[in-house]
A and B are shown apart, each in its own frame.
Chain A
Amino acid sequence: MSLSLARRHFLSLSSLGLARVALADLLEPRQPHFPAKAKSIIYLFMEGGPSQLDLYQHKPKLTAMDGQLTPPSLLAGKKFAFMERMAAPKLYGTKREFRQHGQSGHWFSSLLPRLAGQADDLAFIHSMKTVNVNHSPAMIAAHTGAMAPGRPSLGAWLLYGLGAETKDLPAFVAMSSGPRGPRNGNDIWGSGFLPTHYQGVPFLNAKSPIFHLQSPAGVTRERQQRAVEAIADLNRERLAETGDEEIATRIASYEMAFRMQASAPDLMDLSGESQATLALYGATPGKPGFATNCLLARRLVERGVRCVQVYHTDWDHHNGIEGRLDQMCPEVDRASAALLADLKQRGLLDQTLVVWGGEFGRTPMAEGAAKSAGRNHLIDGYSVWLAGGGVRAGASVGATDELGFQSVKDPVNVHDLHATILHQFGFDHKRLTYRVQGRDFRLTDVEGDPVRALLG
């Protein structure tokens, strides 16, 4: 076939499907089941398991019984991590002062004064339950609904359902701060059996946040542009020769990559942020950390990024919990509250769902010696809050017993939380499915109910 013949051939093909590709929207959305409230999600993930008993759950009875041996009836049949250390544990009341705040009357400890100031923007679940007492499976469950690795993460499902709104940044981003990377790393923002372009992209705390973003030495912006143009021309030749529409997508991919090389450093460049904003978050340009990540999360959703996972990996307080909370809460409190305030003042909070919580919570019993006591993992009654994204501000769902051992009112499991999140994005969690090996899989497997009291 001569080139001109192939050209005509190619033109005839465009009416058959190339137009679809030419949109360059590489992530085609599905039809939502009902109108969406939220467009983006920022999940502030407190990895390790923050102590709900020292932050959000007021338990005067536990304080009153501080130091007493735990009634064996409360421990019967329960599984804990490090079982051997839990032979005869003593109850451990909080050392923090608790007060109610705002119209909502949400309880906060003195560790979180700024979040307390925004009490009425938050909706709490105080009866969260998860499936396993160890970090790794609980992390995987919190992200994918399953304990074993290999299933798609919440963010991947959201992209699968909604597609992307940004053409020059990845639509699903994961950032981390703390003494280590998040447990199970790439698996918890993975795409599982969904196509791999739905997976999250790890963002580094650096000028060049994406792997291989920076051009090699000697490749100036103009030189890169000349290269990308030449690649596009050669690819067009091949497209005409073969009629393979994948080549049109490839051309679009290179255009997006070239734009991303400018837009990602632009995103990371905080010099345009006002002093007031930087102060609000407690962020210092060039200094990586949770505060910077929260600010970047706002900048990402501002640019249409669908899903931002922000990990803080320092919440596993088996010992020395008091000192460690003192050390880390100011930063987390300030930046989390700043993110809410900032989103709100920019009119973004309504369409951005913010979630704050860990893979589980911590026990009412002490672990370790009294003077450097910590708390073990608790999976039967921890707290998570949501804000924005159409969630009913000020709501409070569920409760644990008076000692904080387990959920006694309106228990909510990870599937219910996932169903609630999908609902805010316009999806019935039972109908957002993907067929693999003959079965329609969903994020919530065979369980889950949206928490009605939270739906605005």
Chain B
Amino acid sequence: MAALAALPCAGQEMGAASFEAEIRPLLVRHCQGCHNETNRSSGLSLASRAALAAGGNRGPGFDWIVKAVKHEDGLKMPPGRQLPPDDVAKLERWVAAGGLWPKLGPESGPESGPASGSAGRASAKRRNHWTFQTPVRPNEPNPANARWARTAIDRFVLARLEKEQLPPSPEAGKLTLLRRVHLDHTGLPPTPAEIDHFLNDPAPDAYEKAVDRLLASPHYGERQARHWLDQARYADSDGGSRDEPRHIWKYREWVIEALNRDLPFDRFVIEQLAGDLLPGATPEQMIATGFHRNSLLQIEAGTDREQYRVEAVADRVDATGTTLLGLSTGCARCHDHKYDPISQKEYYQLFAFFNNLDEYGPELPPFSATNDLNVTHAPLLALGPPADVAKWQALQAQLLALYQERFAYRGGESDELPKGDAGEKIRTETINALKKQLPTNLTFAMVMRERRQPRPAHVLLGGDYLRKGIAVEPGVPAAFPPAAGTVRNRLDLARWITSEKNPLFARVAVNRQWQRFFGTGLVETENDFGTQGAAPSHPELLDWLATEFIRLGWSQKQLQRLIVTSAAYRQEARQRADLAQRDPNNRLLGRQTRLRLDAEIVRDNALAASGLLQAKLGGPSVYPPQPEGVMETGQVKQLWRTSQGEDRYRRGLYTFHYRITPNPSMKVFDGANGLTPCTRRPRTNTPLQSLTLLNDPNFHEMAQALARRVAAAADPLAEAYRLTAGRLPTARERERLRRLHAVERDAFATKPEEAEALAGKGAGPELAAWTTVARVLLNTDEFITRE
């Protein structure tokens, strides 16, 4: 009782007895369920006086506990209810009296402050969830029908099917298989020449040779890039209410190129998270960091920029968690995660890694008169002839000085320029003159760059950027295996995430690869590997693939080759009565699955079939024709300069994506919106999709071109089928379209003006009739489906 005697109020109205009688029961009953040494909700334990005094994320506990129970300052404890006024009064008196906490016995708990690390915070159950255990390579099973298996994958799949006494499906027909693997790897259909070559290749490994050819195709990177860009929430505009265009296409180009050269996946991620921090970072490695410049930027007049800077940092934490770890961290922004072992403090330790970047131009008013793309979206990397880059940088520095002068002169942010002021007039003229001198031959890329002056990070109470709690240092959640060394910056974080010991990184990656080829991942909840996520359909296969991915040196191409050469992948997709009944969602993989093509690939296939496709790789985004009125569905009518020439016919992934006013043909086919990471696209099936394929002038132009391409052939219909479905028509299909062709030809013969309107100038009834047939083929379900 020595400590007691030192307290001024000892022995007055709050003696040991009253603490035990009044306060401790209250703490036990209402508080310690969450605020104990194990859980430390919001970093706070109420197990001892010292723990309370040390406090949690919000700071010293004695400053807060009364406010919390009185529901003041935005605090509401206990959650969902309020203590009776009597109890509140008791607690208030106790705190006012010095918070006497006599030690009576061991049950009072250790008199310790909050643990310095996060050890012990996550409950054992959450920590022990399978996904937090490093995968161990399982033995390959020995199914009875081992002859069916072509790869280790098949032994796992077959063993599971045999357990259910279900046979796998036969291999798909050669043409189906060829079209399938083309669409999955390059997103483009096989050409008639490729079809012939494949059919005439008697080699037993003809299919494997086709796969290798596809993996080496430059179009491989385009298709695979779009999958990654979905996760990277890539878009060409800011996403705020003004939705200004931004300089980011170089990042897309980097992704395409990195995938084409099969940059190992760990390296692929490290360069995107922290390419700027690599020793001797190359411009390409800088461009890679565009990954985390894909955050939204809000430049509405009158906003507090700090709020949106904080939003962007939170976006980076969420995108890192969702994309690379398959975990939602967002829950922990306001409170400890309810399901997964991420405390609020740990969330802000992750936040700290991304807190040292600038969102806007260096301390510039972000809008209106100064809303110059080159300064708003700093830091920008300028690319071009060195002399011009140097000139640009020098002019930027002068402009910056003028902007800052103007900013100081106006005394704050404003979207209105003072009018008729001589100094401001000169300044404006100088700015305009300097801008005219800016080199126009440069390309820009938004990149990450650390601030020279580190910005301290804090827990933000309730996620509110204005309410700072305790300061935090960068760190990684305790539920994961610890990092090899210290983890201070983004590069350390990237190395820790991509470590072979990280239990989630490889699993999440192989699961999302699997999803590309089967429609659903082995873990169906591809964005949630936490305790609430779905159990894997084939847990051992998942872990085998994860370890195999590492063994293959993180080669995505080799991993994909392994998957597409499996017997499981090669099965036909046809529904079977037994499977429909016993496994309607095909989780056991007794067959393949028909998958509607992604928005961009629908366009790409129509372009390819029509012969209009321009195969140019990379470069800035393009503006294919789109309906009047699209750009008016947002606050600011941004420019859409319809592309002419070859840029009209580029692949879908190059279509300029405004987040607020997206291209409608992409939107109706479930194109990613770029607002948040998209780890799996929905595949809806709606009348608006039908209207798009029937009436979008782009598709109509492609139908016209397809008709011209086949009309002169000996067998136009056979040619059209090879181009659109990669096969020949059946007798019934032939008969149905012959009928349509005849009816249309006769109708056009009586109305030649309709033939010209439909099929273009100079078109006669024959070509117009083929155009209607081409329209039909571009609208079939088969055409927009990978079978």
A: which residues have CB within 8 A of B? 1, 3, 6, 9, 12-13, 16-17, 26, 79, 81-85, 132-137, 139, 148-150, 170, 174, 176, 180-187, 190, 195-197, 201-202, 204, 206, 210-220, 223-224, 226-228, 230-231, 233-235, 237-238, 241-247, 249-250, 253-254, 256-258, 260-261, 313, 377, 436-439
Contact = CB atoms under 8 A, between A and B. Distances in A.
Nearest to B298: A136
A217 B758 contact: yes
A40 B677 CA distance: 32
Contact of B532 (A176, A180, A190, A439): A439
B780 A235 contact: yes
Contacts of B584: 16-17
Contact of B322 (A181, A197, A243, A437): A437
11 contacts: A81-B302, A84-B414, A136-B300, A149-B675, A180-B635, A184-B241, A185-B633, A226-B740, A227-B694, A242-B575, A439-B328
B272 interface: no
Interface string B727-768: 000101100110010011001000000111111000000001
B409 interface: no
B781 A237 contact: no
Contacts of B322: 437
A13 B532 CA distance: 33
Contact of A182 (B300, B339, B413, B635): B635
Nearest to B661: A185
B779 A231 contact: yes
A258 B695 CA distance: 11
B776 A231 contact: yes
Contact of A260 (B303, B525, B687, B737): B687
Given A180-B637, A186-B633, A16 B580 contact: yes
Nearest to B335: A446
A148 B702 CA distance: 39
Contacts of B533: 438
B180 to A, nearest CB: 13
Contacts of B528: 436-438
Contact of A230 (B239, B633, B637, B776): B776
A213 B665 CA distance: 12
A134 B685 contact: no
B340 interface: yes
A1 B577 CA distance: 13
A181 B781 contact: no
Contacts of B576: 243
Contacts of B315: 148
A233 B635 CA distance: 44
Contacts of B743: 226
Nearest to B326: A437
A214 B697 CA distance: 10
A211 B664 contact: yes
A238 to B, nearest CB: 5
Contacts of A133: 302
A184 B634 contact: yes
B779 A227 contact: yes
B226 to A, nearest CB: 17
A438 B241 contact: no
Interface residues of B, number: 100
**6 tightest A-B CB contacts, nearest first:** A438-B532, A218-B758, A243-B575, A218-B757, A81-B302, A185-B634
Nearest to A134: B303
A211 B630 contact: yes
B632 interface: yes
Contacts, number: 262
Contacts of A224: 694
Given A13-B580, A185-B635, A206-B629, A235 B694 contact: no
B777 to A, nearest CB: 8
A260 B637 CA distance: 28
A3 B687 CA distance: 28
A256 B687 contact: yes
B670 A216 contact: no
A133 B307 CA distance: 11
A218 B687 contact: no
Nearest to A219: B758
A190 B673 contact: yes
A5 to B, nearest CB: 11
B301 A82 contact: yes
Nearest to A148: B311
B692 A212 contact: yes
Contacts of B531: 438
Nearest to A376: B302
Contacts of B575: 9, 13, 242-245
B633 to A, nearest CB: 5
B636 interface: yes
Given A186-B667, A226-B744, A234-B733, A204 B629 contact: yes
Nearest to B757: A218
A82 B410 CA distance: 13
B662 A186 contact: yes
B297 to A, nearest CB: 11
B574 interface: yes
Interface string B650-687: 00000000011110110100100101100000101111
Interface in B682-704: 682, 684-692, 694-697, 700
Indicate the member of A84, A174, A243, A377 with the most B CB atoms within 10 Å.
Answer: A243
Given A182-B634, A223-B772, A134 B682 contact: no
A17 B584 CA distance: 10
A210 B696 CA distance: 11
A234 B740 CA distance: 12
Nearest to B787: A242
A150 B675 CA distance: 6
A197 to B, nearest CB: 4
B328 A437 contact: yes
B727 to A, nearest CB: 11
Given A223-B754, A237-B730, 16 more contacts: A16-B580, A81-B302, A83-B412, A139-B241, A149-B296, A184-B635, A185-B661, A186-B661, A227-B772, A227-B776, A230-B737, A234-B733, A237-B733, A242-B594, A257-B688, A437-B528
A405 to B, nearest CB: 19
Contact of A256 (B240, B675, B690, B782): B690
Nearest to B636: A180
Contacts of B627: 211-212
A133 B581 CA distance: 55
Nearest to A216: B700
Contacts of B633: 174, 176, 181-182, 185-186, 202
A250 B781 contact: yes
A135 B691 contact: no
Interface in B549-600: 573-577, 580-581, 584, 594, 596
A257 B687 contact: yes
Indicate the member of A223, A234, A244 with the most B CB atoms within 10 Å.
Answer: A234
B179 to A, nearest CB: 14
Given A3-B732, A84-B414, A212-B691, A246 B684 contact: no
Contacts of B530: 437-438
A214 B525 contact: no
B250 interface: no
Contact of A438 (B525, B758, B779): B525
Given A182-B635, A201-B688, A253-B689, A223 B660 contact: no
A237 B673 CA distance: 34
B736 A230 contact: yes
Contacts of A438: 328, 339-340, 525, 528, 530-533
Contacts of B659: 149, 187
B502 interface: no
B105 interface: no
